[in-house]
Chains A and B, each alone.
Chain A
Amino acid sequence: MFSRTWQRLSSVVLSLVSAPAAMADWELNMPQGVTEVSQSIYDLHMLIFWICVWIGVVVFGVMFYSIFTHRKSKGAKASQFHESVGLELLWTAVPTAILIAMAVPATTTLVEMYDTTDTDIDIKITGHQWKWQYDYLGEDVGFFSNLTTSQDEIYDRTAKGENYLLEVDKHVVVPTGKKIRFLITSNDVIHAWWVPEIAVKKDAIPGYINESWVIVPEGQEGLYRGQCAELCGVDHGFMPIVLEAVTPAEYEVWLVDQRAAAEAEAAAALGDFSHEELMTKGAEVYARSCAACHGVEGAGMGNVFPALVGSPIATGDMAAHIDIVINGKSGTAMQAFAAQLSEVDLAAVITYERNAWGNDTGDTVTPKMIIDAKQ
């Protein structure tokens, strides 16, 4: 007759069975994180965890003892007591006391988490169907952050990188030692912006603004990865976040670089590009921003996302093709890419879509045509 310790034995055996070397990267527990808030949440988590473990040990101890000794096979005679007001009072009062003891630290931590006053930097975070957009208020810096894990890695055609599904093209750069306020909203459905190491998680709700904050202490510069934490549709699992904490000096330099890059991109749009240049750049833009839905070979995804190979739009009237890529198609998952891609990228990807996979219409869409269409 197996006894009830089997349940503990099985979980212990399980972790021993796996090679001890693999144990190293087995993430067993909540990250302690790098901020004060994440540390106090971790301490709260462990405090309540140990309280539950001790209550469990006491209650299950009594239970297993009684299972072992009070058996019919051991000739135990059943006593008939079934009422004791004293005991009832005891196990109502003691849990209440324990709960109050838990509630006090929990309240202080929660109050601390809700204090979004006197912040140095404000970052507006907007959730889109299946990517995050960041705008640094008052700094005139804003960009989209797309997943860079390739479709080949996802569909097992090539080996998976170290940060599989947790890598993006543009990181959210923040200075350490400063109080940063996040203004979180959404553009379509409900998402949730979550980076475990800094213990920030807040729902992004269309039409409403939620706020949260973080102070990454000095010396904790580095990359912190997170994901969307609220079901938001097909690619809910494919819209990660990479927060890059840098020293305040590096942050200022980064801001200047961002503004310069934006101007350079705007200026480049005025120059002219050859068909080949647009095609090569278009392939790269397509892989990053379009392949997730329309497929690597433009084959589409069943009836959810239309195929581009031989599609009437991609081989038909060019103006309609430009319009749908710039303004999107309301009521479908096809978004407006005008704000997300530069004029050069837009021209390149549309040229690529019109000439790749046998769609060779021979058209070349130039950045100037995109600028005119945007007017």
Chain B
Amino acid sequence: MPQQKSGWRWFLSYAQSVLAGLIGIQSNEKREQDLNEGGLERLIYIGLGTLVVFVLIVVTAVNSALPD
């Protein structure tokens, strides 16, 4: 398995990839680094992370739109 960065820096790079996933733009180096380190598995986890963040955004939008 590729060398595991220290917990905090791994999370930071993962969070950055998730945000990039949301807007669909990411620098090529970061993407190559994601791919070489974890391969497709990592991309799937990033995708799931993006999905969770996306659902939270939509749920907050719904709650703000609801009449109380």
Contact = CB atoms under 8 A, between A and B. Distances in A.
B23 A89 contact: yes
Contact of A92 (B25, B66, B67): B25
Q: How large is the interface on A (under 10, 10 to 19, 20 to 34, 35 or more residues)?
A: under 10
B23 A107 contact: no
Interface residues of B, number: 7
Contacts of A107: 65
Contacts, number: 14
Q: Is the interface of B mostly helix, strand, loop or mixed?
A: loop
Contacts of A88: 24-25
A85 B24 CA distance: 10
Contacts of A24: none
A85 B67 contact: no
A14 interface: no
B50 to A, nearest CB: 14
A150 B34 CA distance: 69
A85 B25 CA distance: 7
Nearest to A114: B67
Interface string A76-91: 0000000001001100
Interface in B45-68: 61, 65-67
A118 to B, nearest CB: 15
Interface in B8-46: 23-25
Interface string A85-109: 1001100100000000001000100
Contacts of B65: 103, 107, 111
Nearest to A115: B67
A88 B66 CA distance: 32
A88 B65 CA distance: 29
A92 B25 CA distance: 9
A244 B45 CA distance: 57
A103 B24 CA distance: 22
A107 B65 CA distance: 7
B25 A89 contact: yes
Contacts of A103: 61, 65
A254 B2 CA distance: 81
Which has the most chain B C-beta neighbours within 10 Å: A103, A107, A111?
Answer: A107
B68 to A, nearest CB: 11
B58 to A, nearest CB: 10
B24 A111 contact: no
Nearest to B67: A111
Contacts of A92: 23-25
Contacts of B23: 89, 92
Interface string A209-248: 0000000000000000000000000000000000000000
Given A88-B24, A89-B25, 12 more contacts: A85-B25, A88-B25, A89-B23, A92-B23, A92-B24, A92-B25, A103-B61, A103-B65, A107-B65, A111-B65, A111-B66, A111-B67
14 contacts: A85-B25, A88-B24, A88-B25, A89-B23, A89-B25, A92-B23, A92-B24, A92-B25, A103-B61, A103-B65, A107-B65, A111-B65, A111-B66, A111-B67
Across the A-B interface, the 7 shortest Cβ-Cβ residue pairs? A107-B65, A88-B25, A111-B67, A92-B24, A92-B23, A85-B25, A89-B25
